[in-house]
């Protein structure tokens, strides 16, 4: 699941938000303000309903973030780096830079998220009870009680054995342990995810057509997201299997055209080296040390009357936001991190110098070559 926009970083992990979060945020706030809270305390001011509903929605998404950060912390403790966290319709997803080393590590990484949500749910329920004993305002007690219930529900929902839910990863850990084959385990978990998704779609459509119940339509939408995410996860697993054992240097474009640090945007746009073939260029300092990544699109956004004054360093993507790898790194580990668009090029660095650049096209070309080679080998 790709982030629509980025909120920032926590402990070095980029935090992104998918557009579907805005939809669920609005539905939660509206449902609480005009539904549950208004029904429980009908004599309160309208503004109080909305304030409580919006605040509860914010705290809920903070709970989702805590759930995903728990995945990230445990993943790091098990030797797996985390690329980013994306909050989306079904909660969130921590995108890992590599696979867990064994089924036990997979189990720990997947299981900590629902456990954190369950603990948060219990804490919110306890807090609601204490607030009630302390005669706190009813809207506050009701909002905290809802947060307790929704976190427990989130923990239960996430343990359903279907990818891309945490339960899908728990299922994959189990299948991996039983079969000893990580790819087969992933295929099984993603197949379960698609079945579960289609079940949600079917049940949702039946509810909606038979009763006009809007919740049925919402259930179908959730099911569609599950199907799409499970399918993408399965496709990535197959690609990683094909690319197993292939280093980055076998697929990268070597000796890329680079833009020197301090070059003006005008010189970059008019320079013959930058006009053709490529849409993104590593920006390098003296000695070929990479400083960032510059795209033609970003350079063209600079007004022409300022292009002579603005250096490329001001409009480039800083190196901290660029994926940097070594030539010997496994190519398969980069599949989940590849995104379309020139800003998402991967810079290959060796000895402190930029020696290559990697795009999704490079990976696709390598996959095609390997599959054709394998096919010809079988025919022979």
Contact between residue 291 and residue 261 where contact means Cβ atoms under 8 Å apart: yes
Same domain, 218 and 252: no
User: In terms of residue numbers, what domain contains 151?
Assistant: 5-242
Same domain, 209 and 355: no
Same domain, 235 and 259: no
Give me the pLDDT at residue 328, please. Answer: 95
Same domain, 125 and 256: no
Give me the pLDDT at residue 131, please. Answer: 96
Helix (H, G, I), strand (E, B) or coil at 17: strand
**CB contact set of 45 (below 8 Å; sequence gap of 6+):** none
**CB contact set of 347 (below 8 Å; sequence gap of 6+):** 282, 290, 293, 319, 322, 323, 324, 325, 354, 356, 357, 358
Exactly one of 68, 99, 142, 233 is catalytic; name it: 68
Catalytic status, residue 308: no
Number of structural domains in the chain: 2
> Which whole-number Å values give the CA distances from 224 to 113, 119, 160, 212, 254, in the listed order?
23, 29, 16, 19, 41
Last residue in a domain, options 186, 210, 242: 242
> What does 110-169 look like in DSSP terms, one character per residue?
HHHHHHHHHHHHHHHHHHHHHHHHTT--HHHHHHHHHHHHHHHHHHHHHTSSSTTSHHHH
Q: What are phi and psi of 302, to 5 degrees?
A: -75, 125
- Closest alpha carbon to 164 in 110, 241, 116: 110
Question: Can you read off the two tokens belonging to residue 50?
Answer: 């909305």
What is the C-alpha to C-alpha distance for residues 207 and 201, in angstroms, rounded to an integer?
10
Last residue in a domain, options 242, 277, 311: 242
Helix (H, G, I), strand (E, B) or coil at 292: strand
Same domain, 357 and 221: no
Question: Can you read off the two tokens belonging to residue 232?
Answer: 């993408």
Give me the pLDDT at residue 373, please. Answer: 72
Same domain, 279 and 201: no
Torsion on CA atoms 184, 181, 70, 118, rounded to nearest 10: 60
Signed CA dihedral, 22, 28, 29, 35: sign only? positive
Same domain, 220 and 318: no
- Tens digits of pLDDT across the chain (380 residues): 667 778 888 877 888 888 878 888 888 999 999 898 999 999 889 999 999 999 999 999 999 999 999 999 999 999 988 878 888 766 778 878 778 889 999 999 999 999 999 999 999 999 999 999 999 999 999 999 999 999 999 999 999 999 989 999 999 999 999 999 988 999 999 999 999 999 999 999 998 888 766 778 888 988 998 999 899 888 888 888 889 889 999 999 999 999 999 999 999 999 888 876 688 999 999 889 999 999 999 999 999 999 999 999 999 999 988 989 999 999 988 887 777 777 889 999 999 999 999 998 899 899 998 888 766 655 55
What is the C-alpha to C-alpha distance for residues 199 and 65, in angstroms, rounded to an integer?
28
Same domain, 276 and 206: no
Give me the pLDDT at residue 377, please. Answer: 56
User: What's the CATH number where 301 sits?
Assistant: 3.10.580.10
Last residue in a domain, options 242, 277, 310: 242
């Amino acid at each position: 699941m790709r982030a629509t926009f980025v909120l920032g970083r926590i402990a070095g992990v980029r935090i992104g938000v998918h557009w579907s979060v805005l939809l669920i945020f609005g539905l939660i706030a509206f449902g609480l303000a005009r539904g549950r809270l208004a029904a429980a305390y009908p004599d309160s001011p309208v503004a109080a309903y909305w304030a409580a509903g919006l605040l509860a929605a914010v705290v809920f998404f903070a709970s989702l973030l805590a759930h995903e950060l728990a995945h990230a912390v445990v993943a790091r403790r098990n030797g797996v780096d985390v690329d980013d966290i994306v909050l989306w319709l079904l909660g969130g997803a921590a995108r890992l830079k590599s696979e867990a080393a064994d089924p036990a590590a997979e189990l720990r990484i997947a299981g900590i998220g629902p456990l954190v949500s369950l603990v948060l749910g219990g804490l919110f329920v306890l807090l609601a009870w204490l607030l009630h004993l302390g005669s706190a305002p009813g809207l506050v007690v009701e909002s905290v009680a809802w947060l307790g219930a929704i976190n427990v529900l989130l923990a239960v929902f996430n343990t359903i054995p279907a990818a891309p839910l945490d339960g899908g990863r728990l299922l994959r850990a189990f299948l991996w342990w039983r079969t000893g084959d990580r790819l087969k385990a992933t295929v099984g978990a993603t197949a379960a995810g698609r079945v579960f998704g289609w079940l949600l779609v079917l049940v949702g459509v039946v509810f909606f057509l038979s009763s006009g119940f809007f919740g049925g339509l919402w259930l179908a939408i959730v099911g569609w997201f599950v199907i799409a995410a499970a399918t993408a996860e399965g496709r990535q697993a197959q690609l990683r299997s094909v690319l197993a054992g292939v280093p980055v240097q076998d697929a990268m474009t070597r000796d890329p055209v680079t833009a020197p640090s301090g070059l003006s945007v005008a010189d970059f746009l008019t320079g013959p080296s930058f006009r053709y073939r490529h849409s993104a260029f590593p920006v390098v300092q003296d000695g070929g040390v990479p400083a960032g990544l510059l795209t033609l699109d970003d350079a063209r956004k600079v007004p022409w009357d300022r292009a002579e004054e603005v250096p490329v360093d001001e409009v480039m993507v800083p190196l901290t936001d660029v994926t940097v790898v070594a030539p010997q790194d496994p190519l398969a580990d980069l599949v989940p991190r590849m995104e379309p668009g020139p800003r998402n090029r991967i810079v290959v660095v060796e000895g402190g110098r930029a020696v290559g650049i990697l795009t999704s096209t490079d990976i696709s070309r390598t996959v095609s070559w390997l599959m054709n080679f394998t096919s010809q080998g079988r025919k022979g």
